[in-house]
Amino acid sequence: MTAPLLSIEDLHVSFATRHGVVEAIRGISLSLAAGETLGIVGESGSGKSVTSLAVMRLLDRAGRITKGRITFRGEDITRASRRILQPLRGAAMSMIFQNPRAALNPIRPVGLQIADVLRAHEPLSAQEARARALALLEAVRIREPRARLDAYPHELSGGMCQRVMIAMAIACEPALLIADEPTTGLDVTTQKTVMDLLAETTARRGMAMILITHDLGLAAQYCGRIAVMERGKVVEEAAPRRLFGAPQHPYTQRLVAASPTRDSTVASLVGETETEIPAAPPLPAPAATRGGRLLAVRNLVKRFGGTTAVNDVSFHLESGESLGLVGESGSGKSTLSRLICRLIDQSSGSILFDGAEIGALPARNFHQSLHRRAIQLVFQDHGESLNPRFSAFDSIADPLQRLAGFGRTPALRARVEECADRVGLPRELLHRFPHQLSGGQKARVGIARAIACRPRLLVLDEPTAALDVSVQAVILALLDRLRREEGLSFLFVSHDLNVIRMMCERTIVLQTGQVVEEGPSGRIFAAPQAAYTRELLEAIPHFEPDVAEAVGV
């Protein structure tokens, strides 16, 4: 057995923050052989990204390796100077990042950026470097590579930017490639092509890869070995089959249980965690009238300039029903949800809500309409969608004061507290500001705000996309319970098909502004009719099917 390509021994990393020194990595040991693919999974704050930055020695000023050793190709690089590291980076070990568009220099053509990397490590002329850059763009299968050489990052799609990033990272044939959440934020079909490209490239060139991800399915599909990290420690390390088939550590077990799979249900995701939400008494509900048509959309069209974002879409939603809206970026699902919330005006078509033509009301004046209370929104980014100067109480009270005519009275306080109880937000957190709340707590505030006025339709725009899986599981369970208890209807927008399948009775698949398939969720996921739906479903990374069986979910 030869020496490993990379070995990390008892690594400790701490960060100097305003509140003193924080230990981000607390003694991890990992090793990687040449050509091997290692997955590091964990939730936010587990230290997986810090590990990779420590290996590249790219920690920012505040971060320090306090203990331990990093050895690369037999050489101790724990304290190596820039003079030693710079020739290694890019040539022997390189890295690709989440959010590829931001990772590229916005005002430099991508061809030049690839050439920059090449010329940093090899004595090449500008022409030679350009020729090599072209070859690399072909290698990462970018369409019209010659034209793309002179393109700027903002002229390329997210997937193309990540391909360019990969081209830069593999330009000098490094022995190790670290991919830090390389496909987060990309569409599921793009994710598949990018990951396939990465796997194929590393295999062909004999490169080792460390894949850092929060997506267990992705890690299972592309890694030979997976390390699970929790709060700065590796809690378990094994081959995916073993790890997901028979997780040993309680944290791994929880993580596996919380990850949506082909046949999980909302209840199965949460397990015993659900008990953390105090079961609020059912409301004296506004007559949870099941049945009856709540929303009917007919021939809805929305054009922006020359492009048609929503093209002749018709569907309906029964009272108390949950309808899923899936599609990739550019499919028009966000535009559609905004049209239905009356945040923007349609170009043509009608929107009937509870029998009233709300499509005729200009979006500008809709806040005066009585229907505003009845249609409420839950946003994707729970941090951004809360006013940073409003406490949780103010945020929840805001719609009550504006739409339901509450004054600053004890009745308002009672109502806000009741809403907080219903979403499982501890009352003592109500005076806190958004930055003092965790992601899950902010999500609860956002949901409490949305249900405060007792709406009949809740439009949820990727409500769990920014959350860790364990938090997502709890929030999904909460939403599902709220819907049943309050007789709400959901229009649930998501790119995560598994989430849609669990949360929605019916599903609409959108592609470039048009409905390509519509039907009961179970049928669509079991036997998709449209080719595009099949493509979407096939692109979801799953744990191995037999493993899933072994887990018994």
Host H or E run for residue 310: strand 307-318
Q: How far apart are CA 14 and CA 140, in angstroms?
A: 37
State in angstroms the smallest separation of the CB of 108 from other proteins: 8
Contacts of other proteins in 161-220 (CB under 8 A): 165, 168-169, 171-172
Q: Which residues pair with 492 in a beta bridge?
A: 324, 460
Taking a C-beta distance cutoff of 8 angstroms, is the pair 531, 348 a contact?
no
Which residue among 65, 80, 103, 352 contacts other proteins (CB under 8 A)? 103
Which residue among 5, 70, 95, 423 contacts other proteins (CB under 8 A)? 95
Is residue 86 at the binding interface for other proteins, with CB under 8 A as the rule? yes
The tokens describing 337, both together, are 């949800």
State in angstroms the smallest separation of the CB of 155 from other proteins: 8
Q: Which is nearer to other proteins, 58 or 279 (CB)?
A: 58
Which residue among 3, 22, 58, 527 contacts other proteins (CB under 8 A)? 58
Is residue 152 at the binding interface for other proteins, with CB under 8 A as the rule? yes
Which residue among 79, 141, 146, 154 contacts other proteins (CB under 8 A)? 154
Taking a C-beta distance cutoff of 8 angstroms, is the pair 114, 165 a contact?
no
Q: How far apart are CA 356 and CA 353, in angstroms?
A: 5
Burial 453-474 (b: 16+ CB within 10 A, else e): bbbbbbbbbbbbbbbbbbbbbb
State in angstroms the smallest separation of the CB of 469 from other proteins: 25
Q: Tell me the window of 72-80, 86-94, 269-277, 542-550 that interacts with other proteins (CB under 8 A).
A: 86-94
Q: Which is nearer to other proteins, 117 or 537 (CB)?
A: 117
Q: Which is nearer to other proteins, 148 or 342 (CB)?
A: 148
Which residue among 94, 201, 334, 494 contacts other proteins (CB under 8 A)? 94
State in angstroms the smallest separation of the CB of 243 from other proteins: 28
Is residue 89 at the binding interface for other proteins, with CB under 8 A as the rule? yes
Closest CA to 332 of 295, 302, 370: 302
State in angstroms the smallest separation of the CB of 58 from other proteins: 6
Q: Which is nearer to other proteins, 153 or 446 (CB)?
A: 153
Q: Which long-range contacts (CB under 8 A, 24 or more apart) does 275-279 make?
A: 276/424, 276/474, 277/424, 277/474, 277/477, 277/478, 277/481, 278/421, 278/424
- Tell me what percent of the chain is helix, strand and coil, each rounded to the nearest 5: 40, 25, 35
Helical ranges in 229-355 per DSSP H:
240-245, 250-258, 266-270, 333-340
Q: Which is nearer to other proteins, 166 or 397 (CB)?
A: 166
Residues in the interface with other proteins (CB under 8 A) total 33
Is residue 155 at the binding interface for other proteins, with CB under 8 A as the rule? yes
Strands 20-32 and 37-41: unpaired
State in angstroms the smallest separation of the CB of 106 from other proteins: 6
Q: Which is nearer to other proteins, 89 or 506 (CB)?
A: 89
Q: Tell me the window of 85-93, 310-318, 479-487, 514-522 that interacts with other proteins (CB under 8 A).
A: 85-93
Q: Tell me the window of 82-90, 332-340, 437-445, 504-512 that interacts with other proteins (CB under 8 A).
A: 82-90
Q: Tell me the window of 102-110, 465-473, 480-488, 506-514 that interacts with other proteins (CB under 8 A).
A: 102-110
Q: How far apart are CA 310 and CA 301, in angstroms?
A: 5
Angle between helix 439-451 and 392-403 (nearest 10): 10
Q: Which amino acid is at 25?
A: I
Angle 247-9-59 (CA atoms, 0-180°, nearest 5)? Answer: 100
Q: Which is nearer to other proteins, 157 or 401 (CB)?
A: 157
Q: Which is nearer to other proteins, 60 or 272 (CB)?
A: 60
Burial 30-68 (b: 16+ CB within 10 A, else e): bebbebbbbbbbbbebbbbbbbbbbbbbebeeebebeeb
Is residue 408 at the binding interface for other proteins, with CB under 8 A as the rule? no
Strands 348-353 and 356-357: antiparallel
Which residue among 63, 90, 359, 439 contacts other proteins (CB under 8 A)? 90
Taking a C-beta distance cutoff of 8 angstroms, is the pair 493, 525 a contact?
no
Draw the binding track, 472-501, toward other proteins (x: CB under 8 A; -: no contact). ------------------------------
Contacts of other proteins in 104-123 (CB under 8 A): 104-108, 116-117, 120-121
Q: Which is nearer to other proteins, 156 or 377 (CB)?
A: 156
State in angstroms the smallest separation of the CB of 204 from other proteins: 20
Q: How far apart are CA 479 and CA 503, in angstroms?
A: 9
State in angstroms the smallest separation of the CB of 178 from other proteins: 8
Q: Which residues bind other proteins (CB under 8 A)?
A: 56, 58, 60, 82, 86-91, 94-95, 97, 99, 102-108, 116-117, 120-121, 152, 154-155, 165, 168-169, 171-172
